Chain A
Amino acid sequence: SAVISQKPSRDICQRGTSLTIQCQVDSQVTMMFWYRQQPGQSLTLIATANQGSEATYESGFVIDKFPISRPNLTFSTLTVSNMSPEDSSIYLCSVEVDRAADTQYFGPGTRLTVL
């Protein structure tokens, strides 16, 4: 298993500003993922962040809006840039611990509200 922490746990931000969410894992992992869960919707994968390479973004998500850093095997950040109320959501990071089992562990999430 893996213990994952996220900072901040929640924030209320003004339109047009940016917020950086941190994800810390207690063990070294190769693959980290960033998800969004908008109210009443399922999880949506934003991007996959592998250490030492550029993040891979899913359709509908771009690096200018959601820049991601992955400086080492235990840490990643997701920035939500130039925020609008539509960005209000819960953002979760997750890690793949066992590639053979294809199982993932999720962080506690960051609740973002944009006014």
Chain B
Amino acid sequence: DQQVKQNSPSLSVQEGRISILNCDYTNSMFDYFLWYKKYPAEGPTFLISISSIKDKNEDGRFTVFLNKSAKHLSLHIVPSQPGDSAVYFCAASGAGNMLTFGGGTRLMVKP
């Protein structure tokens, strides 16, 4: 059973608009959450993270929101740019720092 799920395999957004990528998890022991970005033929690279003691973390155009009661996190990108087109993975970790990944969401930002 997948403990981290990204239910939307793809998302298409117009340039300049907001992109919202969602992620749900089931394990209440997760206390640290990360978003990775992956371009074709490359490995995922770290984008932004959030600790479970926070509900929001912002870094430039990227903001991650955490709703612990709903076991839900989201990544907001605003404004979206064509260079943001990639696959985005959310990941969660708990004790032991092992990462559990979602299946990824492919974001396409149209010029």
Contact = CB atoms under 8 A, between A and B. Distances in A.
Given A42-B36, A103-B104, A92 B43 contact: no
Interface residues of A, number: 23
B45 interface: yes
Contacts of A98: 9
Interface in B81-111: 87, 89, 96-101, 103-106
B103 A103 contact: yes
Given A90-B98, A98-B9, A111-B98, A1 B40 contact: no
B99 A42 contact: no
Nearest to A105: B103
Interface size class of B (residues with CB under 8 A): 20 to 34
B12 interface: no
Given A101-B9, A101-B10, A106 B99 contact: yes
Contacts of B99: 37, 90, 92, 106, 109
A44 interface: yes
Given A42-B36, A111-B96, A111-B98, A101 B106 contact: yes
Contacts of B100: 106, 108
A35 interface: yes
Interface of B: 2, 9-10, 36, 38, 40, 42-46, 87, 89, 96-101, 103-106
Interface of A: 1, 33, 35, 37, 42-45, 58, 90, 92, 94, 97-98, 101-106, 108-109, 111
The 3 closest A-B pairs by CB, nearest first: A45-B43, A103-B104, A106-B101
